[in-house]
Amino acid sequence: MATITPDKVLDTSGLNCPLPVLKTKKALEELQPGQILEVISTDPGSKADIPAFCQRTGHELVEMVEEGGKYIYYIRKKG
């Protein structure tokens, strides 16, 4: 598996729905099209919320990793 190098990292650990999605949306606004955002979450609800957000907004969910109670998402900004 290739290592993904994010352009920005957003740690939403300890935050619950809807904050991880809202902070992800705000962080993506600061990136250029094609750049990658890494989102770290501890909210189990993010497993449904983040992919749904990406599908709804057109951003690409490149990869999702679950390790040690954390959910890590790599999202490529559309454009």
Per-residue 3-state assignment (H helix, E strand, C coil) for the chain: CCCCCCCEEEECCCCCCCHHHHHHHHHHHCCCCCCEEEEEECCCCHHHHHHHHHHHHCCEEEEEEEECCEEEEEEECCC
Residues taking part in catalysis:
17
Could you report the per-residue pLDDT of 42-69, keeping only the tens digit for each?
Answer: 999 999 999 999 999 999 999 999 999 9
CA-CA-CA-CA torsion for 35, 63, 10, 47, nearest 10 degrees?
Answer: 140
User: What is the pTM (predicted TM-score) of this model?
Assistant: 0.94
Q: Which domains, ranges and CATH numbers included, belong to the chain?
A: 8-76 (3.30.110.40)
Instruction: Look at residue 2 and tell me whether its pLDDT is greater than 90.
Output: no
Look at residue 34 in the predicted model and tell me its pLDDT: 98
Cis peptide before 51 (omega within 30 of 0): no
Tell me the pLDDT band of 28, cut-offs 50, 70 and 90: very high
